Each structure stands twice: as C-alpha cells, then as structure tokens.
Structure 1
Amino acid sequence: CFAIPGDEQWPSPSEWAELNKTVGGRLIAARPLAAVCHTGDPFNVYDESKCAEVKAGWDRPETHFVDPVEFNTPIFQNASCDPFTPAERVCDLGNYVSYAINLTMKTAVRDVQAGLEFARRKGVRVVVKNTGHDYLGKSTGKGALSFWTHNLRERTVIEDYKSKDYQGPAIKLGAGMLTGEAYETAREAGYRVVGGSCPTVGIAGGYAQGGGHSSLASLYGLAADNVLEWEVVTPEGEHVVATPTGRYKDLYWALSGGGGGTFGVVISMTARLHPDGIVGGASFSFTAPMDKFWDAVESFHRLGIRYIDAGNSMIYMLRMLETNTPILIAFSVTVPGKNETGVKEAMQPFLDDLKGRDIAYNFESHVSQTFLDHFARDFGPLPYGMFPVSQITGSRLLPRSAIQDTESSKAVTEALKLAVESEGFYLGCNLFNAGVVRPKNAVNPAFRESVSHCIVVGPWDFTLPRGFMLERQRRLTEVIQPALDEATRGSGTYLNEGNSEQGDWREQFYGEDVYKRLKKVKERYDPGRLFYARTAVGSE
C-alpha cells in the first residue's frame, strides 16, 4: 500500500523540501484551479472574478493542460474542488495528486530518477500527467507524486532516420508536444505525421502509448504503429531508448499500444513521417424517420468497408435532434491524395444508397493543400480545437465480421440506436482501417479487425445535481455498454476512450493474450508496482 497524506509514513514537509532542492526547485505543491472559488482553508485564495474565469473555461482543454495537476474527468474530480460547488464548501485535494515535478528537456531524466528514488524510499505512489486529456483518471491519484511532462517541448525533424526496420524521414517529439504542434512541425518540413483529432492531446503521451486512432489510420496505421523508438525512464530509474529490435524490444512492444502511465516515464518519442500532399474532404449529413434512418445507418457501415479499404476515413456523429429525430453528421471526411472529383467518387456509394432510400442529404466537398490545412478546417480553430472535455465515456470497436453479416449488423445497429436514444448521450465514431499495417506491438488486436470505433459521449452538466450525472454513468455501465459488447462479441474497446467502470477491462481494453504478455513486461520493469493507474496494466 502507498502512503497518503495523514498517514504516519507520509513524508514530512522537510523531506518534500529536500526533494524540491534535489530537483532544482521544480517540485510543485498541488493547488486545484478551482481553489479560487472556495473560501477558507486549506488554500484561502478565494477570488470571485478569477472563479468566474475558471467556470467559463472548465470544459475546455486549454484550462487543464497548462496546469500541473488538473485533469478533465468529472467522475474523478469527484467535486472535491470544482468551481460549481458552494464557495463555503471546503476545497479538498481528493483525487488530485499531492505534488508534481515540472519536467524540462534539460533536466527531465535526472529529475525523474530523483522522484522515483524518493517515491520508492518513502512508499509514495507515482503517476504521469501530460495534458490531462484523460477520460479514465489515469493522470491523477490521491497522495501521488506526479511527473508533469507538459514542458518536454522538443521537436526535431530527422530527414534520414536509419534503423534495422526503417530508413526515411522521422520526427522526434518531446512527451509534452501537442498533436496540433506536431502537425505544424511536420507540415513545415513537407510531411505529415499520424496523430489524433484533438489538437490539445499529447501525441507522445497516452495517445500513442494507447494505440492512437487517426484520420490517417487507413493509410499508415495507428499512431503506435508509426513509433520508431521511445526514450523512457523505467520505474527503477534506468534511462533507455526502446526500439523494435534492440535490448528493450519488450518495453517498446508494451509502450506501443499497451497504455500510458504504467511502464515508466516517456521523455520523447520518435515516429515516422510521411510525404504531405493534398487531402480531399467533405461534410455530409442526413436525417430521416426512425426506422428508415437506422436502416440507412446499417447500410452506411456496410458501404464503409470499401471506403476505408481505399485508404480513406470519416469521423461522424450519431445523435438525436431536439425534434426527437436522429441525425448522422460526418463533419470530417478524409480522402488523401484526391481532388474534389476524387472525393465525390469515394462518397458516391453512400449518396446513391440514400437516394435509393428516398432520403435527402447534405453534401459539400472541398480540397486542402496539406493535411494540416485539412485538419484545421475540420477540427479548428487551432490551437485548441472545438471539443469540450468534461464528459462520461464508453466505447466499442465495430468488427468487420459483424458489419458484413446481415443478422449481426442489425444487432450492432440496435445497440447503436439504444445509445443514441438514451437521454444525455450521443455517439462519436470514426470509420478507418487499422488493419492496413500489422506491426508487432501491444495494440488491442480488435483494432485490426474493426471498421469503426464509436465512443459513447455523455457531456457532463455541472448545473445538474452530481447524483443525476452519476445515474447517467450507471446507465452507461449497466445498460448501454453491455448492449454494445453483446452485439460485437469478440471485439474490444479503445483503452483511451473506454468506460472506467467496465468490469472486464483487461479483456476488452487489451485483449486477453496481449494483457498476459503486458503483465510480464510490467513485472520485469516495475516489480515493486510503483506506477499505478486505473485500468492500466498491473492495476487489478
């Protein structure tokens, strides 16, 4: 068991001060941002105007990623200190970490080593926090010492990277680099890099370490598939570079898809770059009466197989309108290397199908000169993007076999319908082909056989009683998620966007055989289980 504040073995103030001296004054005592919204002890920093600013930005990623201890998961914030509870209520750390070490490229390795030695000696839990874009509470922990990687800002383009496995352009990214920043760096050199759809996600953090789906996945695979090496400090303090064929190939394998926050502290990641060029895009939507609509959605997924096998992807939303009518909105259609004519050709089977069903649709195509331009158009405004972050989530990978089989496809569609018709939820999905490459890594095998990944999203409403939102979480866990799982037996879940309450997370997030192998890697590099994160390998 780890020590927490109040325990007899908890380090004294003088011991924390000594650690701060060792890391050059870069140890930060935790103070939640919302402390300015609460009067009295322990922080005593109430400020009405600053509180209003915190409230206004609470569901925005930029509020959380620049702070050493904040994260964006309301369930795990636990209302311990948020801006929406009464001012006279005590601001308690709750699930927040107690201290964080601010890592910089110049001193990161030795600071991590010092922090690990201290934590091991004093029995303190450690966690890793990058941006705090974290749906499962993995980047925080009560009483923990956190390694804050936000300021690991290196970005270097390597024109001629050479290894046994790859020769060509690559990019080295410090763990704190954001996805949008990585796209900008790659574009300036004439390349593109595989990353996600949220510009404020740490591309070398939990995103790539957990697999990392992408609008470019149908061409180049997942983010984890493109990693060439990981620079990491292991739980026992060893500074290593893990590659697919080197001495630490098992660590490379585990970090490439096995999840962040449990195998060590990643300092940097080196990944493949790909030649840039035009990207065809479009927006596309349709709505129809209930039965007619869901029949069209079933057909949409079946037609999507040929579409993604051609190297394309599509991010779309399924939700209910205020008129109680369902709608599909594809706000990011990605057709790499094609002009508007090519986009229309790629989308024509979808449009013809809707026309044959007498369903009206909206369709507008465009072309961007680079992938960054395409990304900014669909997911901007940069640098922060359009997505709020305070939400309840669960997810499921929709397998190709189920979509191709008529009976199974109907069951999948019924499960999607259940989610969309549940009050307070919608689906955000991504059509892509993650089986286009199959390197040796720890990515959940279900990715390789899937057609689409759908995340069940329940926006957190801080104006409602917390118990009301917890009831929605219960419905997700006990009704919606089981229905999706049952309709897609043998598939799995993207571990970065799963349901934190899922009981069989080892099988669903990782795959049973992969998890067994990951446990062995965990036992080799972290025999003392110093790193612990919810649903991470070794946390059962």
Structure 2
Amino acid sequence: MSIILCSAVALLAAAAPLVSAQTLVVDQSTIEANSTTVAPAAEAVPADTTAADIDYFGAETVQLTDSVLANLTELNLSNISLFGFSDNATLSKRALPTSCKVFPGDLLWPIPVVWKIFNLLVGGALIETTPLAAPCYNDHPQVRNDAMCSYVTNNFVNNSFMHADDPTSVMWPLYQGLTCMPTTDPTQKCTLGAFPSYVVKATTVAQIQLAVNFARNANLRLVVKNTGHDFNGKSAGAGALSIWTHALKDLKYIANYQQGSYNGPAIKAGSGVQAFELYDYANKLGVTVVGGEGKSVGVTGGYLLGGGHSPLSGLYGMAADQVLSMEVVTPDGRFITASDSVNPDLFWGLRGGGGSTFGVVTSVTIKAFPKMISSVATFSFSSGNGVSSDNFWAGVRAYFDYFITFTDKGAYEYFQIMSTGPDTFTFGMAPFFAPNMTQAQLQTLITPWLSTLSNLGIQVTPQYFSYDNFYDAWNNHFPLESVGLPTIKTASRLFPKSNWATESSLNTTFDAIKSVVLDGSTILSFNIAVAKNSGENNSVNPAWRNTCLHAIQGAFWSTNATQAEVQAASKKITFDWMQRWRDASPGAGAYMSEADILEPNFQQAFYGSNYDRLYALKQKYDPTGLLYTPTGVGSENWYITGQVDAIPTQNGRLCPISFKSRFPKRAIRA
C-alpha cells in the first residue's frame, strides 16, 4: 500500500487555505489521516542490509528512508517536502527575509495541522512543552497541582534525576530565563521563556530524522536534550523543536570488538544512557568503562561529545578517547556511522567538538577495561578552633605541592574551598578517589600531606574505604549533584602542569585561586590529569592534555537581587575573578561543559588549536546552521534577540549576525 499526503493538506505552504486538512490518498482512495494510516513514517531496515561491521540497536533499525519519503512527498508543490532530506546547502525557502529562525506567531510558523501531521509521522512522540514547575501556577494550561508543585519545589535543587527525566527542564535555569520556576505564589506568570515549544521523545532513528528534516526545511530552531546537565543550558531555545534522546537506553556488551588498531572488549551504549546505568552494567559484566563523575550525567550525550573528564581519566584518558564508533543523524537527515574507517573527519569532530553541533548521536561504542580495585578517602578541615586562617591556607597550599605526585598515580580528587564567615574557611575532600590502588597504597600516597597539616596544627582523621570494583567506590562516594540554583553563575579554568614547574609559578596559581575565595567565591575543583597513553587523534581541547587542575568558581546573589546586582555579579566573575585565573595560566583553556557562557574568546578557551578545523567541519556538515548552541562551534555567526547585558539567555529569536550587521537599526521582535 502506498501512502501519499493529499495536496489539499498543503504542508509546504502554511499560509495556504486548507481544504481538507487531514486526508490521505491511498491507492487512489481518499482516507482520513490518523495514527493508523500515517504513523510511523519509517521502515525497519533488515539486519542483512546493514554493513557487516555495524551492529544497530533495534531503535536504529527503524529509519526514515527515501522509499518512505517517496510515499509522503508527492504533493502539488514545486519545493521540497517538509520532511525530506537535504539535497543542497541552500537555506530553506521558508526562511524569513531576515533569515532568522521562524518563531511562534510568525506567518510561516507551522500551523496546528502541520504539527498534528508531524506528530502522526513520528508515531505520537511529539510533546507540547509544559515546564516542570507549571503545576505551581494558576495561569498555565496544565491544571494546578499542589502535590506536584510541592514535589518539584522540594527536589528542584537536589535531584538532578528529576530534571533529567523531564522532556525540557535544564539543570542550570539562569540561561533559560527563569520564566517558570517553583513558586509559592500561584498568581505569578508561567511562560515558556527559553523552553522549546515542542519536543520529540525519540525512541527510533526515524523520529530523529523526521525532526531534523522538519526543523531544517521549516527553518525552525532545533535543540537537543539528553539530561540537561550542561552549565550553560545548551538544550534550551525559545520557539525551538527539541529532540529528547533520554529514552535511548540500550546497552550491549561486545567481547571482541575490532576497529582500527583496537581489538578487545567494548560496550555499545544508546545516547540516553546515564553514568549510573553504564557503570552498573559494566560492573555486572566484570569490566570497567570511562564515564562521568556525576550520577545522572548522560554519558554518550553532550558529556562525551565535549570531551568528558572522568575519575578514570588519570588511567585511561578522556571519555572521548574511548570511542571506537558512533551512530549519528547528520543535519541533512541522513543516518550514518562515524569511525576511523568511515566518515573519519566527522568521527574526529564528534569526539570533543561539542554536543548538538555536527549531528544527533544515537549510540556510541566505547572501550571496556578490566575490573579494578578502588580506594577512597574523605576528610575536611577548617579554620577556627585553634587553626588560624593563615595556617588553614598554608595547609591548602601544601596540598597544591602534591598535585603532580597524586595525578601521576592516577588519582582524581574532588574538593571544595569556601568561606564560612569573616576570615573563616573550610576545605572538603569528598572524595580523594584512587582507582586501581589498595587502601594501603592510598594511605602511603597522602600521608606526607597529612603530616604537613598536622605540623600546622590541623588535625585530620580521614575515613578510608576499599572496594574490589570501581562501580561501588564511585556510587558510594560521589554525591548527587546540586542543580537548579537560580542565584549562581559559574566559570572554570584548566590550569596546566607547567604552572607547577617552579615555586614562583605555583605560588601565582595558588594566589589567583585563593584571591577569589577571599573575595566571596566558592571553589569546586578537581585535581586531574589525562593519561598519556589515551590517544589524542580527536578534537578534545588540547588544554586537557596538559591539565593538572580543573577549577570551577561560582558567584552568588540573593534571591531578591535586582537585575543590576545580578549583572554586576556576572561581570565580576567573568572580567575580574576569571581574569585573574586567565592571567595566571596564559594560553590554557576551560572545559566547555562546565564553563562561563561569557568566556572571552571561547573559541580558544574551549577548543584551542582545533577550532579552525572544527569550524570548517561545521560548514561542511551543517552549512545552514541547523544546530546552534551557545559557545558551540560556529555560534559566533548567530545571536539571540532581546538580551540583557551580562545575563545571556536563550529566551529570544535566533538570528544570524549577518542580519544584525546589515540592518543594525531594524527591530526584530523577540
């Protein structure tokens, strides 16, 4: 049976009158368009038609193909179907004269029947966005629900799983615009702000292909969400269509995987798999894999695509270094494999060039390593109770003396430094993580530092833990992330090992970090290095290859702060505190997923010497700029309208910089 959308539907001409809005022509007969006759617009690709070295998950065998489209695009129109693949590099004919992305309320914004047909084509997977906190408000179409509002409110800053499991919630809401936050005043307004207008809950490749094609051909803004962890809210976008990959949870163990020079065990993981799921799966198989520190992080999403630092980086390198093969839907809507032997340029760019940049990844095959023992130590110390602030800082400075020693052994330390009052400070080690070390080896490693602390009058009694596997050590000692804070802005810096080469350069580094704590910042940091044997033929920021310290700082303001106060705090962290760190580490960089959205020269800071090559790759695979993320490759070609100085959000229309330069005085309604 062939299926042809009736020309009266006029999907490609949203402004045209609709004569019979939901009919199909099937074998010369007109029938109603519904979930039985249309959905899904996909076909199962038989296993024997796939390449011999590609092992698709079930979700990946359900694809949008040319034969499917042949039954959907026979319309009385000369231009391409809204759902067809791209066959050239020109912008959509539906683009506004300004070339800004089509926005809700525009003449060319798809009319309701088009969204309904799209929903039919994706098998009912389309979700109209309801913000997570909407049940707290009277004015939102969703009926107010006090019990749900209470749950969201109580979990908003301490339950990252709640945000990950929501189609549109972002874990760092400042850049969404804070438009629908939990509230005790239900008479306030809940608006979408930078939440996307619609979401496709992807369970098949075909649904992703249809969303990519629809967004490209209709000139819609397109965003991708896995969990929403990125510090800069890259999965947000006003008026956007979003692809939610969270449900792609397949996992498969391959005992003997061959790709290039690699021959050994591997795990293939869907792009929705989170760290706790991947680590647990690997542990039950008696192997170890490289993934994130955070429990709810989506390992094969933006985390890995941005490089991905790990508690195992000191032994095996970055998460991106472990990738053997990837399946991806590219901006032209095609589903392809990328590896050393197939599409190697894309393979290079995907491994470190950032998420939502070159395509939508559906699965990744990564190396698996032998099961290993792990040891952990946790402790803290503070000024006060006989410990002067000078001795406190001397104890922290003594820790810096051992950074190279610790990372040379493969250790990964997660620590915090903060002010707790006037001239009082605290240091927390939670945890000192020692993969592939016995407890005795860990104690021997840190005893010299602890002895220095004792000589300073700082008595520390660590708690030690030992495990026969990585998973239990990780699961028991890394905390669930605090997220959702609307009163914080963060920034970070990768400090190179060369800063530890001399006493003078180390003192400069330490003084720069200490100075911002004295000014009111809180420091959350990782003593981390990347193993030299990990292989570097990918686009991971080269700064990672020389890093000894990944330091994150935060600026805070009160819940009732004025816009001017928030702007001042934002500028303070970017142009004062962070500048001290940049001055102390010239030519270094920052980790793009945990960084300042206002980072000056982000191209150098986040991508280093790889940027020019990445930019050329972006023009090759995404010439129309379908995939945009703040600070992503090529993002300098776009801007968001209606922005407030120093408080960038995604709550506005996405427009090309070329329009702003051509029509600087012309207003664009945000």
TM over 0.5: yes
1:419 match: 516
2:571 match: 474
2:539 match: 442
Q: 1:80 aligns with which of 179, 189, 194?
A: 179
2:121 match: 22
1:339–1:169 distance in 2 versus 1, CA, 3 Å: same
Q: Deviations over 1:34-80 (max 9, x none)?
A: 2212222x525223332222211111212211111111122123121
Structure 1 stretches of at least 4 aligned residues deviating more than 4 Å after TM superposition: 458-470
- Matching of residues 328-339 of structure 1 within 5 Å: 328-339=427-438
What is the CA-CA distance between 1:411 and the residue it aligns to? 1.9
Q: Which moved more, 1:525-534 or 1:472-481?
A: 472-481
1:174–1:44 distance in 2 versus 1, CA, 3 Å: closer
RMSD: 1.9
Question: Residue 517 in 1 paired to residue 613 in 2?
Answer: yes
Question: Residue 429 in 1 paired to residue 525 in 2?
Answer: yes
1:180 match: 276
Residue aligned with 1:518, SS: helix
1:252 match: 347
Question: Residue 168 in 1 paired to residue 267 in 2?
Answer: no
1:280 match: 375
- Matching of residues 29-108 of structure 1 within 5 Å: 29-40=128-139, 43=141, 45-59=143-157, 60-84=159-183, 86-104=185-203, 107=204
- Matching of residues 268-307 of structure 1 within 5 Å: 268-288=363-383, 289-307=388-406
Q: 2:548 aligns with which of 445, 451, 454?
A: 451
Which amino acid in the other structure matches residue 430 of structure 1?
F
Contact residue 74 and residue 460 of structure 1 kept, 8 A: no
Q: Deviations over 1:124-144 (max 9, x none)?
A: 011110011121111111111
Partners of 1:523 and 1:452 lie apart in 2 by 33
Partners of 1:360 and 1:418 lie apart in 2 by 25
What is the CA-CA distance between 1:300 and the residue it aligns to? 1.5
Question: What TM-score do you get using the length of structure 1 for normalisation?
Answer: 0.94
Partners of 1:442 and 1:197 lie apart in 2 by 21
Contact residue 172 and residue 483 of structure 2 kept, 8 A: no
2:415 match: 316
Contact residue 196 and residue 240 of structure 2 kept, 8 A: yes
What is the CA-CA distance between 1:216 and the residue it aligns to? 0.8
Q: Deviations over 1:163-215 (max 9, x none)?
A: 11211111111000110110000000001111111110000011111111111
Q: 2:602 aligns with which of 492, 505, 510?
A: 505
Q: Which has the larger radius of gyration?
A: 2
Residue aligned with 1:285, SS: strand
Partners of 1:37 and 1:446 lie apart in 2 by 44
1:130–1:270 distance in 2 versus 1, CA, 3 Å: same
What is the CA-CA distance between 1:341 and the residue it aligns to? 1.1
What is the CA-CA distance between 1:88 and the residue it aligns to? 2.0
Contact residue 435 and residue 447 of structure 1 kept, 8 A: no
What is the CA-CA distance between 1:444 and the residue it aligns to? 0.8
What is the CA-CA distance between 1:358 and the residue it aligns to? 4.1
Which amino acid in the other structure matches residue 176 of structure 1?
G
1:461–1:132 distance in 2 versus 1, CA, 3 Å: farther
Q: 1:530 aligns with which of 626, 645, 653?
A: 626
Partners of 1:505 and 1:285 lie apart in 2 by 35
Which amino acid in the other structure matches residue 58 of structure 1?
F
Aligned length: 529
What is the CA-CA distance between 1:464 and the residue it aligns to? 5.6
Q: Which moved more, 1:359-368 or 1:425-434?
A: 359-368
Partners of 1:25 and 1:167 lie apart in 2 by 41
Q: Deviations over 1:400-451 (max 9, x none)?
A: 111222222222112211222333x311111121142342111111111111
Question: Residue 373 in 1 paired to residue 373 in 2?
Answer: no
2:250 match: 154
Q: Deviations over 1:485-528 (max 9, x none)?
A: 111111110000001122321111111x2111110111111011
1:368–1:458 distance in 2 versus 1, CA, 3 Å: farther
1:124 match: 220
Contact residue 223 and residue 628 of structure 2 kept, 8 A: yes
Partners of 2:300 and 2:330 lie apart in 1 by 16
2:639 match: none
Q: Deviations over 1:324-363 (max 9, x none)?
A: 4222211111222222211111112322332344433232
2:20 match: none
Partners of 1:173 and 1:9 lie apart in 2 by 38
Q: Deviations over 1:110-151 (max 9, x none)?
A: 111111111111110111100111211111111111110010
Which amino acid in the other structure matches residue 523 of structure 2?
L
What is the CA-CA distance between 1:539 and the residue it aligns to? 0.6
Question: What TM-score do you get using the length of structure 2 for normalisation?
Answer: 0.76
Q: 2:589 aligns with which of 482, 492, 517?
A: 492
Partners of 2:246 and 2:343 lie apart in 1 by 25
